Amino acid sequence: MRTLPIAALGLALPVLLSAGPESGIVRAADQLIPGATVTASQGTAKVVAYTDENGRYSMNLPAGVWEIKVEMLGFTTAVNQITIGNEPDFRNWTLEMPKAGQQTQAASTTSADQNGGRRQSGRGRGRGFGGQQGEAGAAPGAQASGQANAAAQGQGTGRGGQSQFGGRGGLGPGRGGGPAFQSAQANATQQQQQQQDPQQSLADAAAGFGGLDVSTADADQAFLVNGSTSGGLAAASDDEARRQRDFGGRGGPGGRGGADALASLLGTPPGMGGPAGDALGLGGFGAAAIDGGFNAFEAGPAGGGFGGPGGGPGGPGGAGGGFGGGGGRGGGRGGGGGGGGRGQFAGRQGRGPFNGNFATFGNRRRQQPAYTGSLFINLANSALNASPFSLNGVSVAKPSSSREQFGVNFGGPLIIPKLLNWRRANFYFTYQGLVSRNPFNQAASLPTQAERSGDFSQAMVNNKPVTIYDPLSGLPFPGNVIPLTRINPASLALLQYFPSPMSSGLIQNYNLVGSTPNNNNNIGTRLNMPLNRKDRLNFNVQFQKRSSETLQLFGFRDDTAGSGLSAQAGWNHSFAPRFNNSASVTLSRNNNTLTPYFAYTNNVAAELGIQGTSQAPINYGPPNLSFTNFGALTDGSASVTRNQTMTFTDALTFVFKKKHNLSFGYTYNRLQQNSLTYQNARGAYSFSGLVTSGIGSNGQPVSGTGFDFADFLLGFPQSASLRYGSDNNYFRSWSTAVYAQDDFRVSRNLSLNFGLRYEYFAPYTELYGHLANIDINSSFTQAAIVTAGAPGPFAGGLPSSLVRSDPNAFSPRFGFAWRPFEKHSTQIRGGYSIFYSGSAYAQIASQMASQPPFATTGSLSTSLGNPLTIENGFISIPSGAAGSNITNTYAVDPNYKLAYAQQWVFAIQNTLPHGFLIETEYLGTKGTHLGIYEQPNQALAGTSVLTAQNQLRIPYATGFNYQTDGANSSFNAGQIRVTRRFQRGMSFVALYTYSKSIDNASSFTGTGGTLVQFVNDWQLERGLSSTDQRHRLNLTYTLSSPVGVNGMMRNGGWKTALLAGWTLNGNFAAQSGTPLTAKLAGNLSNTGGIGALGSLRAEATGLPIDGGPNSYFNPLAFTAPAPGQYGNAGRDTIPGPFQTSLNASLNRAFRFGESRRQLQLRLSANNVFNHVIVTGFGTSVNSTNYGLATAASATRTVNLLLRFNF
């Protein structure tokens, strides 16, 4: 498999003969005609293509005279002879309806353009690249489906798509890349700007006509006629019609919204990071990919918007995520072809194609019903994959894994013989199944047999021996050996859950290899019913059933299961050709259940004498144990979630005097998140070596003393945490948004876009008032527990959410597109916009739930006055129910403000000869009011670690995390993109980005980021963002076999048939690594008594970070700070390892005759050359893995896709 892509590349490169792309659009009256057959003939050579949903086609033809014939059932055939040169040729075809009694005979015609239909590529915007239609691949010279190829790469098919590294996705094979700024649509939400699921793209490609946007001239129409570089606005009034393009797709699981929050907005997020989903699954804050420039933030209040010409693909659902058509996925394939193509005619003709709807089976001019569908199977097996990379140099067995994904899609007119004959109504049925065993490979360090028995004479930390002290005598243990009589019985019993090392050595001597099952079934149906010429109803129901297992480091397997259901009803009404309205209601439900390995087995805590934990059978099992130098004993927490989202949207579009595209909309979301969660019911202990450390005269541990596993054997943890009780929580919230926008064509060469969006996010409440916060005075010396509905002694009256809402989420958006020279291709674009995030409210509510007085919770460090043991560590946590002690572990500022991001972009684009397009862009983003965590209840620096717990600023409270706003971020980037349109069998896009991101909290949604070390000076936290990547290079290419009409063996018989039509698609990415922080862990990290809540930063020695004895970074650049003091090392000062990746796929489409029946084959490989890169290494200066590799990229995997379209 290693040589397959190389051989295919060698086949494609030697001889690529001269050829010019022939493309055009087929219309009938004012309608675009999808599915028309376009046949090019020259002697015995013949190339066949089909028009896509926008009426477009494209063929790569050698120079010469060709006869072009355009056929469509029910229309007169159009025939014309054209001369193909080396420059792209574009034509408009108009089919005529036959007169009464006339047969559909061929009629000679000319294209609509005055200059013979030929438009020079230099005049266009360069939306797309040449290449065959998505389903025109079987004829000689035709290419495989561009969309399927793009999906195979896991990248967006338009400019807004993203690469696997989260950067600005290159052009999908065969798809067009639009300009950086499309249109700053005011009706866009963040959730609508995410990249679509690659597997969804595959399903989409199975359904209809794969479109390749090749017409730069036609893209000009979107700029000149529609009054904006965003061509998608007119189609925004038909939200459900956009979803009809998803025929063949499946609904995704609900509950979670846009992934990676601002990550999409900032392109792997510059300036701030975001999690894959919030704590409650209430929907992330997605945004247009910064790498897509100022993409078309198109409407779709409930679902994702679709891009304008070359804009970003549709995002996942609106707030709450939804399931399936109810928000599980946005506006279809988006990108340069689908999204932009439809809308560009709205400004000129007053409505999009098919009365503002997309081409569906019910609105095409057909005389006979047509049913289409597809079958597909996607296979992968570990037999074709490479073995996993070994971090410790000891080879490991290859995990046994497999993946079988299969599905069927079918749809057409709603006709039941002898029962129902509703030819104008259309149904769509989809089923997709998944049966897989996913590989698992994880390494860790485990104590040796000698250490398990108490012998630490060979123990090392950073290649230096350690001395363990007897906490009773304060003297070292003789020989560094703990007597067997001193080993705690509970510790001895817990050893049975620790596996033995698998190899010799002290570091990474354990490696677990296995696989986890994952089963998924999705079924859905859609119904589209036109009531009359002005009204259309659509219904969509999707159902999903799933089950899987999660494998823990020590071999424990947790079961997960879930289901999802989504139902959507929509109504589209056309008041006039240029005045349309679309309304929809969506209801989504999603259920998930997680059952831990130890649930309903033995009551381990009771058997070992561990007191204070939950005694519910579902919470049986040992406590979670974490160590500074060894792998952790952990298991999942039991949970049951039942989430429900209701969404209503209404969008109104109006084209005024052909220069103003006006759009207005309203969205309302009602969210219910019901959970039964036992977050830490078994409790958790942390062992650091503090108890077996030698204590100096200053009350601080002596460096080189103490060992975490020795503490464990003696039964003395450094910290204990517990949280259970009040497990049933019923969260409620709602959000709403209104927007208004004017897409204004000032002149032929200038378009402006003005918009304003207002959003309101209601903070979450709990149905029974089970929320608790810590109300703190301004000096952080007094605190009190406040519950929902009760006033706080310092904050005063509070709403039932305990957090006051932020009603100021106004989001203005402005953009322009200007072509300064009438006869030159130069285009200048720019824009400015503001986006707000309301997802922090979900995370805040989940933290305030299950806190005292409604639950038992607390986090405590050991001390001389209250030493923690394994048996009594949890009962040492004082109860906060009586009000005398505060054991809550979380507090939030009741005036918490929502984070927002300002984004601006300026871009210049030029079209060059020979099919090249070059773009330069400047991108900027500033995040404001970002969430940040503090630990205000700490003792003074230098306080003895053994007495710090008793000297906290608020003595009657334990340590807690305090969340507030006020952090900020700044991101700036310059980009240059070089595009070569598809001709002579090749196309590529090369994108280079130079950027820098700085912040003092790498989080936008409030769910991530690091804890503040210097509470009183946030400027000391400012540094590189955890997502900063200085250099990024992405190269996407498409190569076609030089055989057939376009190259060698034009009439080679079976040889030509065998070798023609193959395409090789690939993506190469190289980028700087993300920075890391030198940390302090274990017994040296309890400065100020906050060791139980997080790690601290190390001390910088002044030596260079690069170089030294380590190939990753110089470990001598950092050390432990002076005892009891904070380290002075900055955040994210260690450069991460450079990363590269090469993925490729080999594709071929086999067509049966000239019908639409087609068999598609795709063989793809990730990490083609099996080049593994270290992606992480230990950065805790007092840990055994300091400076050593801890994570690596995946090895090569191979995948085979077979799809039959009919």
User: What tens digit of pLDDT does each residue of 1001-1025 get?
Assistant: 766 655 555 678 877 788 888 999 9
pLDDT value at 291 more than 50? no
Residue 409: predicted pLDDT: 94
How many C-beta atoms surround the C-beta of residue 934 within 10 A?
21
Assign residue 331 the CATH number of its domain. Answer: 2.60.40.10
* 86 assigned to some structural domain: yes
Compute the mean pLDDT over every residue in the chain, rounded to the nearest whole number. Answer: 75
pLDDT at 148 over 60: no
Mean pLDDT of 512-532: 94
Q: Assess whether 191 and 71 both reside in one domain.
A: yes
Strand, coil or helix: 495: helix
Is residue 618 predicted with pLDDT exceeding 60?
yes
**Averaged pLDDT, 994-999:** 94
Judgement on whether residues 13 and 31 belong to the same structural domain of the protein: no
The DSSP bridge pattern shows strands 856-861 and 916-934 to be unpaired
Diameter of the chain by CA atoms? 111
> Which band of pLDDT confidence, cut at 50, 70 and 90, is reported for residue 747?
very high
The helix (H) or strand (E) run that includes residue 205 is: helix 198-205
Regarding whether 107 and 57 lie in a shared domain, the answer is yes
* Residue closest to 145 by CA, chosen among 130, 127, 132, 159: 132
Q: Is 336 helix (H, G, I), strand (E, B) or coil?
A: helix
Higher pLDDT, 152 or 664: 664
Report the pLDDT value the prediction gives residue 709, as an integer from 0 to 100: 96
Q: Residue 1168: what pLDDT?
A: 93
**Is the confidence at residue 333, as pLDDT, over 90?**
no
Number of domains in the chain: 2
Could you please report the per-residue DSSP string of 41-69? EETTEEEEEE--TTSEEEEEEESEEEEEE
d(CA 154, CA 1050): 33
CA distances from 809 to 248, 321, 762, 798, 801 (A): 37, 21, 12, 21, 19
Q: Residue 121: which of 231, 20, 215 has the closest Cα?
A: 215
- How many residues are given for the chain? 1206
Judge whether 1121 and 1095 are in contact, CB under 8 Å. Answer: no
The whole-number pLDDT of residue 379 equals: 94
Alpha-carbon distance 215 to 352, whole Å?
18
Q: How far is CA 945 from CA 699, 708, 776, 784, 875, in A?
A: 7, 16, 25, 26, 21
Alpha helix stretches (DSSP H) within 666-786: 708-714
Domain coverage including residue 1087: 1-17+897-1206
647-676 per-residue burial string, b: 16 or more CB within 10 A, e: under 16: bbbbbbbbbeeebebbbbbbbbbbbbbbbe
| Residue 1073: its H or E element | strand 1063-1076
Please name which of 803, 830, 1005 lies closest in space to residue 901, comparing C-alpha atoms.
Answer: 1005
Written as six digits, the tokens of 929 are: 């009011």
pLDDT of residue 232: 27
Higher per-residue confidence, 5 vs 963: 963
Tell me, yes or no, whether 910 and 962 share the same domain: yes
| 41, pLDDT greater than 90 | no
Least confident of 332-336, 891-895, 914-918: 332-336
Lowest mean pLDDT, pick from 2-6, 60-64, 950-954, 1094-1098: 2-6
Domain termination site, one of 349, 378, 410: 349
261 has pLDDT over 70: no
pLDDT on residue 661: 94
| Residues 9 and 98 reside in one and the same domain | no
Same domain, 248 and 185: yes
Beta carbons within 10 angstroms of residue 692's beta carbon: 31
Average pLDDT over residues 820-834: 93
Helix (H, G, I), strand (E, B) or coil at 842: helix
Higher pLDDT, 1094 or 7: 1094
Do the Cβ atoms of 257 and 319 come closer than 8 Å? Answer: yes
Residue 881 lies in a domain: no
* Residue 832 confidence (pLDDT) above 60: yes
Tell me which of 204 and 389 has the higher pLDDT.
Answer: 389
pLDDT tens, 1114-1140?
999 999 888 778 888 988 999 988 999
Which of the four pLDDT bands, split at 50, 70 and 90, describes residue 728?
A: confident
Q: When comparing pLDDT for 726 and 754, which is higher?
A: 754
Please check whether residues 8 and 23 belong to one and the same domain: no
Distance CA 480, CA 875 (A): 31
Most confident of 11-25, 336-350, 1031-1045: 1031-1045
pLDDT more than 90, % of the chain = 41
Instruction: Choose among 137, 129, 139, 172: nearest CA to 154.
Output: 172
Return the pLDDT at 341.
34
Of 508, 623, 1070, 1106, which Cα lies nearest the Cα of 877?
623
Q: Which residue has the higher pLDDT, 1172 or 239?
A: 1172
SS3 763: coil
User: What was the pLDDT predicted at 113?
Assistant: 40
Tell me whether the omega of the peptide bond preceding residue 852 falls within 30 degrees of 0, making it cis: no
- pLDDT greater than 60 at residue 807: yes
Mean pLDDT of 400-423: 88
pLDDT of residue 1094: 56
Using the predicted structure, report yes or no on whether residue 685 has a pLDDT greater than 50: yes
Domain stops at, among 327, 349, 371: 349
pLDDT at 636 over 70: yes
pLDDT the model gives residue 1008: 52
Q: What is the identity of the amino acid at 771? A: L
The answer to whether residue 169 sits within a structural domain is: yes
Checking DSSP bridges between strand 89-94 and strand 19-28, what pairing results, if any?
A: parallel
In a domain, 1155, yes or no: yes
Identity of residue 519: N
- 2 and 30 fall within a common domain: no
Q: What was the pLDDT predicted at 1084?
A: 67
**Banded pLDDT at 983 (limits 50, 70, 90):** confident
Return all residues near 294 (Cβ < 8 A) that are at least 6 apart. 180, 181, 182, 183, 184, 288, 815, 829, 830, 831, 833, 903, 905, 907
Question: Is 651 part of a structural domain of the chain?
Answer: no
CA dist 1170 and 391 (Å) reads: 15
1 with 117, same domain?
Answer: no
Domain stops at, among 300, 331, 349: 349
Same domain, 9 and 90: no
Is the pLDDT at 743 greater than 90? The verdict is: yes
Comparing 858 with 328, which gets the higher pLDDT?
Answer: 858
How confident is residue 433, by pLDDT bands cut at 50, 70 and 90?
Answer: very high
Flag whether 1187 is in a domain. yes
Give residue 1085's pLDDT.
65
| Amino acid identity for residue 1158 in this structure | Q
Q: 709-713, 819-823, 1044-1048 — which one is most confidently predicted on average?
A: 709-713
Task: Please tell me whether residues 1190 and 1097 are part of one structural domain.
Answer: yes
> Are the beta carbons of 452 and 495 closer than 8 angstroms?
yes
The full 3-state SS of 410-449, as one line of letters, equals EEEEEEECCCEEEEEEEEEEEEEEEEEEEEEEEEECCCCH
Angstrom distance (rounded) from CA 161 to CA 856? 46
Tokens of 319: 């707030």
pLDDT band at 1044; cut points 50, 70, 90: low
Residue 407 maps to a domain: no
Element (H, E) at 680: strand 680-687
The Cα–Cα gap between 130 and 59 comes to: 8
In 3D, which of 215, 226, 25 has the Cα closest to residue 120?
A: 215
Residue 1146 · residue 1163 · CB < 8 Å: yes
pTM of the full structure: 0.72
Among 63-77, 300-314, 395-409, 517-531, top mean pLDDT goes to 517-531
Say yes or no: 13 and 23 in one domain.
Answer: no
Specify if 1163 maps to a domain: yes
Quote the pLDDT of residue 114. 36
